[in-house]
Structures are given as structure tokens and as C-alpha cells.
A = this chain, B = another copy of it.
């Protein structure tokens, strides 16, 4: 996988042969983005199957169960991680034959999760791109592109598809503190795709929305509750509030694997709080940004209430409110 911590300065591909290294890579955000960590965890399971010295199906399934526990704890908020692990465990449960058949089946399922993700991204991108008008300026939060998925992207995939379809789109990329996925990763992707963009601070989004310069707001999601509350990268709530205050549509673009119908509302979604050092390790012209010994709080996600979400764009179509009725239809078909 690409070590996303080093971008845009350095493009470095890292390889792992131990699932515990994959878990650490997810935790340390070598790889991030809900769909990408789902796929990474699935391949982590394929490694665990290969690493296991089990000679019986039962023993191999126990080893896989242990690996799923380790991988599942790497990050708590994105549901795709758990979703991918459950899918692998279902494969493990239903595969017949010997341990080598099971190892092969797990690898195949991981590959399928990855391949499907690209197809799913392109389908939702098609639905989303139809909502973009030629000449639109949009605000995009965090990174939801090829780096956050297996390829193509969710919210950024929508923008790519609109751009490739010949629509002129200008992207205001919010930098997405503290880890700057917008400034570092989304800008890097847009540069490669030739899509015009400008970086803004997160707190400037309201200025551009209020001055009528923005047509739409796009973001992904790490978990969507059954009522349409959206847990996503910190700052999404304030961005959606500002969009709403100015009658600008705010769209969450997600594969149905991100929708967790088991949770009635967003208040039940676990919100990861990461080390405050992530906030403080910036430098400005080579100088520290805070006094020595300063402490920081660092919630990595927030929950945007469904009333601020104009629509949820999935691979099975665009879902409008009331989400509590309509989400179940796209998830369960």
C-alpha cells in the first residue's frame, strides 16, 4: 500500500507479510479512508490465513478469528473494517475442503472486496455526477479519492466522474486538520487528474458558502446510522451546518457497506479520540505552533445529524430523506 503519511512529499509503497503489521498500518494511518481500510483488513486476513500453521480447518478458523479481533480493533469508527472482516469470516465458515482451499478462498474474497469497491465507486460516482452542474464550485472535505478507497473514490469519485464527463468543476479543498488529508492527499489527487482546485482552511468554508461562491458540498462517511446520521472526519458537522445555513446541498457519498442499519442513530457510533500530538506536531516556518507542554484534544470524527444531510449517494442510487425509511431500501434492495 501507499504510505499516505508521506504524501505529497514522497510516494512510497510499503508491503507487509504479517497481518499485525497491517493492523498497525491501519491504526497509524499508513492507510486510511473507510473503504480502503476495509479492503486492507480483508487482505490482512488473507495474510493471517497464510501465516497460520494450522493443519485443520477448525484451527485455521480459530487463527482467523484471532486475526479478525486484532484487525477489528485497529480503528473504531469506520464500519467498513468490521464489515469486511465479517464477510471474510462468512467465507471462512462456508468454505469446504482443506486448509489450502480455505487460504485460497480468503484471498479470493479479499480480492473480490477490492475489485467490487472500484465498481461500486464508479456506480455511485455516476449517480453523484448527475447532481453536479457545469461550472459548479464545490467544497470537498478530507480525502475520499483513490487513496481512501481501492481506486476511484467516493465523494472525490463523483467529482472525477463529472470532470471526465466534460463538466467544469472547481474544487475548494478544505485542508482537514489535524492530519491535513485535504491539503496533502486530495490536492495531490486533483493535481494528477487535472481538476482545478484551491486549498482553504476548514474554518473558511463558511465564508465561501455565505458569499454564494459554492454550489454543492461533498464528503464521504465512516459510518451512517439507520436514520441517516453521518459519522465522518472531524469538521463534517460544521461544514454541513454552514452549507445548510446557506441552502447549499450537502451530500454524503458512501458504499452501502458504510451504512450500519444496526444503529438507530449517530449517537451510538463510537467516536475515536486520537493522540493530541497529531494536533500539535505542525510547524509554522520551522517553529512550534504551541507552547511547550501544551495539551490538545483530538476527536477524529464527528456526527452530522440527518437534518443537515441533503442526500446520501450510494452505488444503488441517491437516497433522500426520510432516511429512516429510504436507507433500508438501498441496503437490503
Question: Total interface residues on A, using CB and 8 Å?
Answer: 62
> Can you report 6 residue pairs joining A to B where beta carbons are below 8 Å apart?
A175-B290, A184-B284, A199-B276, A199-B294, A204-B234, A283-B284
A234 and B203 contact, Cβ closer than 8 Å, known pairs A210-B303, A294-B191, A302-B210: yes
Partner of A177, one of B177, B285, B297: B177
> Could you tell me if B282 and A282 are in contact, using CB atoms closer than 8 angstroms?
yes
> Could you tell me if B6 and A297 are in contact, using CB atoms closer than 8 angstroms?
no
Report the separation of the CA atoms of residues A280 and B8 in the bound assembly, to the nearest whole angstrom: 13
> Could you tell me if B200 and A279 are in contact, using CB atoms closer than 8 angstroms?
yes
Chain A interface residues (CB < 8 Å from chain B): 6, 8-10, 172, 175-180, 183-184, 187-188, 191, 197-208, 210, 234-235, 237-239, 241-242, 245, 271, 276, 279-299, 302-303
Partner of A184, one of B8, B289, B296: B289
What chain B residues lie within 8 Å of A201 (beta carbons)? 177-178, 202, 234-235, 279, 298
CB distance from A250 to the nearest CB of B (A): 13
> Could you tell me if A6 and B199 are in contact, using CB atoms closer than 8 angstroms?
no
Report the separation of the CA atoms of residues A281 and B120 in the bound assembly, to the nearest whole angstrom: 37
Identical chains in the assembly: 2
Report the separation of the CA atoms of residues A207 and B285 in the bound assembly, to the nearest whole angstrom: 29
> Could you tell me if A238 and B234 are in contact, using CB atoms closer than 8 angstroms?
no
Partner of A199, one of B180, B191, B241, B296: B296
A284 and B180 contact, Cβ closer than 8 Å, known pairs A175-B279, A198-B296: yes
Chain B, residue nearest A10 (CB): B287
Which 4 pairs, one residue from A and one from B, show the smallest C-beta to C-beta distance?
Answer: A203-B235, A177-B201, A202-B203, A206-B238
Report the separation of the CA atoms of residues A187 and B280 in the bound assembly, to the nearest whole angstrom: 12
> Could you tell me if A291 and B191 are in contact, using CB atoms closer than 8 angstroms?
yes
What chain B residues lie within 8 Å of A288 (beta carbons)? 8-9
> Could you tell me if B172 and A297 are in contact, using CB atoms closer than 8 angstroms?
yes
A180 and B6 contact, Cβ closer than 8 Å, known pairs A237-B210, A279-B200, A297-B172: no
What chain B residues lie within 8 Å of A241 (beta carbons)? 206, 238, 241-242, 245
> Could you tell me if B183 and A290 are in contact, using CB atoms closer than 8 angstroms?
yes
Report the separation of the CA atoms of residues A255 and B114 in the bound assembly, to the nearest whole angstrom: 59
